[in-house]
Amino acid sequence: MLKKFIIDLFGRKNIEFIRSRPFLTHGKYRPMIRDLEEFSEIINKNYGKDPALSLLLVRKFGHILDKGLHRLDVEKGHSRAIAGELEKNIKIAELEFRNDRTIKWAEDKLAKYNELQASGRIEPLEESQPDLKVNFDDLSALIKQRRSDRTFLTKSVDNETLSNLASTVNWAASSCNKQPIVLFATTNHETAKACLRCCKGGTGFSDYIPAFISFGADMRGYYLPDEAYLPAIDVALGAQSFLLAAETLGLSGCCLSWALKDQKEDEQLRKLLLIPDYVQIIFNVVIGYPSKRAVTPVRKDLSETLFIR
């Protein structure tokens, strides 16, 4: 109650200003700070009200309970606050997403957690070992086959193919199971070219651009600024699955950095692909059927990569 009184008295922004210990910073950092503040404002304004935000938190808090339920030394008495947050966010999320599989999954975790609190004992959760059909050599060859090609055949990429590729991204690891990755795509040749013009370094491509995809993170599930780096990591992990799957279909994707974008480019790309303000654009990809493959670049030696102590 005291904390709420102080926030009401001085205002949340003033409190955050004092807590942040203001300092002078290089001008290059200001857009990043501005973006984080805007995303934080969206989260603070919608917490406890937005079912979509609560659905992200259901995945997060459900995952935290799930980790405990898998422990061999699982015992009652832990994570009561997490269970409370999960229950609260389930109620908010189900107002709009009652049939979402996440809700049922989280309810099962919460029920198992409550069973533990009541009985004091449960069998730790466990799944059988999968029988993998892919061997290391095949997977390694696929990884090494991937290229960033920039010259494409005049052949379209259909929506079904994009949907199949997109179905792989949420199976990658993500922080606290948030699954924040969202894709905004166009297979319209002219729109794809317009999107490409928003990207610095978007040169050397053939005239025909089959598809353009913006890889973004739904920022509503992050605790900012502490988790400021996690969106890029989460999205990159999902994108790697997408790009490797593309290789198996004869497609090639070329990633384009978004680090040097300016405000005008950001606004233009959002307008072209209808990207909402709560999504952080991490990077973009041009994808298509290559008319020729890029020459394999030299990779650094393993001795520069792995250090076993």
DSSP reduced 3-state for 219: helix
Query: What one-character-per-residue DSSP string does 236-304 give?
Result: HHHHHHHHHHHHHTT-EEEEEE-TT--HHHHHHHHHHHT--TTEEEEEEEEEE-BSSPPPPPPPPPGGG
Question: Which residue's entry shows tokens 């999107």?
Answer: 195
Per-residue pLDDT of the chain (309 residues; tens, 9 = 90+): 555 555 566 566 665 655 566 667 777 888 888 888 899 999 888 888 999 999 999 999 999 999 999 999 999 999 999 999 999 999 999 999 999 999 999 999 999 999 999 999 899 999 998 888 899 999 999 999 999 999 999 999 999 999 999 999 999 999 999 999 999 999 999 999 999 999 998 778 999 999 999 999 999 989 998 999 999 999 999 999 999 999 999 999 999 999 999 999 999 999 999 999 999 999 999 999 999 998 988 999 999 999 999
Identify whether the C-beta of residue 251 lies closer than 8 Å to the C-beta of residue 157: yes
Using the 8-state DSSP alphabet, how is residue 227 labeled?
T
Distances (CA, A) of 309 to 93, 304, 306: 46, 14, 10
Using the 8-state DSSP alphabet, how is residue 305 labeled?
T
Identify whether the C-beta of residue 282 lies closer than 8 Å to the C-beta of residue 222: no
Element (H, E) at 181: strand 181-186
Would you state the pLDDT for residue 230?
Answer: 96
Would you state the pLDDT for residue 7?
Answer: 56
C-beta atoms surrounding 307 within 10 Å: 6
Question: Which residue's entry shows tokens 């997408």?
Answer: 242
Instruction: Write the CB contacts of 159 (distance below 8 Å, at least 6 apart in sequence).
Output: 187
Structure tokens at 249: 């279909």
Domain spanning 136-288: CATH 3.40.109.10:
yes
C-beta atoms surrounding 83 within 10 Å: 20
Residue 282 amino acid letter: I
Would you state the pLDDT for residue 26?
Answer: 79
Phi, psi of 262 (to 5 degrees): -110, 175
pLDDT in tens, 158-189: 999 999 999 999 999 999 999 999 999 999 99
Would you state the pLDDT for residue 6?
Answer: 57
Would you state the pLDDT for residue 28?
Answer: 81
Do the bridges between strand 181-186 and strand 279-288 make them parallel or antiparallel, or are there none, so unpaired?
Answer: unpaired
Would you state the pLDDT for residue 1?
Answer: 58
Closest CA relative to residue 63, chosen from 43, 42, 85: 85
Domain spans of the chain, in order of start: 2-119, 136-288
Would you state the pLDDT for residue 109?
Answer: 96
Question: Which residue's entry shows tokens 């005239």?
Answer: 207
C-beta atoms surrounding 214 within 10 Å: 25
